[in-house]
Structure 1
Amino acid sequence: MDIIFLSEVKVETHLGVPEWERLTAQTIILDIEIAMPHSSSCQTDEIDDTIDYGVVVSRIRQTLSERSFKLVEALAEHVCQLIMQEFGAPWVKIKVAKPGILPGLKALGVVIERRKSTNPT
């Protein structure tokens, strides 16, 4: 399996359990691994044969600027589903970190992994 990784992607979003915390955008950090649906780009050297990571990052930034989440878990699930549905990735792993949210804590967050289910016909 070929995997694209995006490390320490900084994104502005509205996130937090208390409503007041979601009033102002805050920076979160994403580490994302995306499985390629096929490996033909290794032979063709063509952007059309891969998942364009620039487009992925732009789409994530767009959707997270438009949405509000209470939990990092829900945000991570949203991003995973977006990547699988819109970009055809068969598997996604994402780490969402919310930095500096508590005193003496560098960051908190979650890591989730999702795989497209294959339905036998």
Structure 2
Amino acid sequence: MDKIIMKNLGFYGYHGVLEEEKRLGQRFFVDAVLHLDLSVAGKTDDLNKTVHYGLVYETIKKQVEEKRYDLIEALGENICKDVLKEFPNIIKIVVQIRKPQAPVVGLFDYMAVELERTQEL
């Protein structure tokens, strides 16, 4: 299966269980891998035969920056739902959301969730 890969998209959002997270916000980083058939786009050089990843970026940005969730699991679920709804030629999406400033005492790069969802047929 062909893929469009979107790596390390950075956003500022207000997701988390703690009041400080809801009030102050923090950085979130998102990877999205879009699975779809790119053969026609490759043969025709036609944007209409693929997915405009700039528009997918805007869909993800809207969820991260304009919505608020306690859990990054809920954020990921809604990103997947919106992308699959708005871009029906995407067969499967894999989304990873990283939270580098998670409120955990200890040394770490980030805490993350990864979700994989497919288009309902």
Q: CA deviation at 1:19?
A: 2.9
Contact 1:12 1:61 survives alignment (8 Å): no
Where structure 2 has 5 or more consecutive residues not aligned to the other structure, the ranges are: none
Greater alpha carbon shift after TM alignment, 34-43 vs 87-96: 34-43
- Scaled by the length of structure 1, the TM-score of the pair is 0.88
Q: Give the alignment of 1:101-116 within 5 angstroms.
A: 101=102, 102=104, 103-116=106-119
Where structure 1 has 5 or more consecutive residues not aligned to the other structure, the ranges are: none
Identity score, percent: 26
CA deviation string 1:26-65 (max 9, x = no partner): 2101111011256311111111111111111122212322
Contact 2:92 2:119 survives alignment (8 Å): yes
Greater alpha carbon shift after TM alignment, 91-100 vs 36-45: 36-45
Partner of 1:56: 56
RMSD of aligned residue pairs (Cα, Å): 1.5
Q: Give the alignment of 1:1-121 within 5 angstroms.
A: 1-36=1-36, 39-88=39-88, 89-101=90-102, 102=104, 103-118=106-121
> Alignment length, in residue pairs?
118
